[in-house]
């Protein structure tokens, strides 16, 4: 786990520690000391603690004018025991919603497992997004299947063209525009 780093090539566009509106503003990263763990396994110091001991995040990009954010996740998304969605919703989503963010791109290729509970925080998040959306890209198939069993796919858009395998070769703006086009087509079809 300690070798899995969040994507850092977009630091030239955005650095969460330098964003005065970010909850991680001013954070210093100690790359000589690995201190955070998930189930006893050390993780790279770039990952940010958001209240859960099993799910860590990295905000890769935020565009306040367009109202979108791109967040990479690592760990086990465990709503059953650790109520990870509550921590994510209260400590990250509510903060950015108050700043006008209403479109969320969650990169889930490093989510290794999901344990569901109920969908009330997802429903609340979805209701907060009057003119926005929540997209999960590159989540493992078994994680999406498990989330679907708990009705999470009613609130988060997954799959199909949304799984942008080559997202690292794009700019944050390009990725957002690509995802936004797909979501707009899906909405128009309904």
pTM confidence score: 0.95
Label residue 185 by pLDDT band (50, 70, 90).
Answer: confident
- Asked whether residue 140 carries a pLDDT value surpassing 80, the answer given is yes
Q: Which CATH architecture has domain 50-189?
A: 2-Layer Sandwich (3.30)
pLDDT of 30 reads 87
Domain boundaries, the chain: 50-189
- SS3 sequence, the chain? CCCCCCCCCCCCCCCHHHCCCCCCCCCCCCCCCCCCEECCEECCCCCEECCCCCEEEEEEEEECCCCEEEEEEEEEEECCCCCHHHHHHHHHHHHHHCCCCCEEEEEEEEEEEEECCCCHHHHHHHHHCCCCEEEEECCCHHHHHHHHHCCHHHCCECCHHHCCCCHHHCCHHHHHHHHHHHHHHHHHHC
pLDDT at 164 over 90: no
Segment 22-26 mean pLDDT: 97
């Amino acid at each position: 786990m300690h070798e899995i780093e969040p994507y850092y090539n977009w630091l030239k566009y955005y650095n969460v520690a330098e964003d005065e509106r970010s909850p991680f503003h001013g954070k210093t990263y100690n790359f000589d000391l690995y201190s955070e763990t998930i189930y006893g396994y050390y993780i790279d110091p770039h990952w940010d603690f958001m209240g859960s001991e099993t799910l860590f995040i990295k905000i890769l990009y935020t565009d306040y004018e367009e109202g979108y954010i791109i967040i990479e996740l690592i760990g086990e998304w465990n709503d059953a025991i650790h109520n990870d969605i509550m921590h994510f919703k209260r400590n990250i989503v509510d903060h950015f919603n108050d700043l006008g963010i209403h479109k969320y791109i969650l990169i889930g290729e490093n989510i290794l497992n999901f344990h569901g509970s109920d969908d009330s925080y997802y429903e609340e998040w979805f209701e907060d997004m009057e003119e926005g959306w929540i997209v999960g890209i590159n989540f493992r198939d078994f994680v999406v299947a498990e989330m679907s069993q708990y009705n999470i796919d009613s609130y988060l858009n997954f799959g199909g063209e949304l799984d942008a395998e080559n997202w690292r070769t794009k700019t944050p703006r390009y990725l957002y525009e690509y995802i936004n086009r797909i979501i707009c087509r899906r909405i128009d079809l309904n």
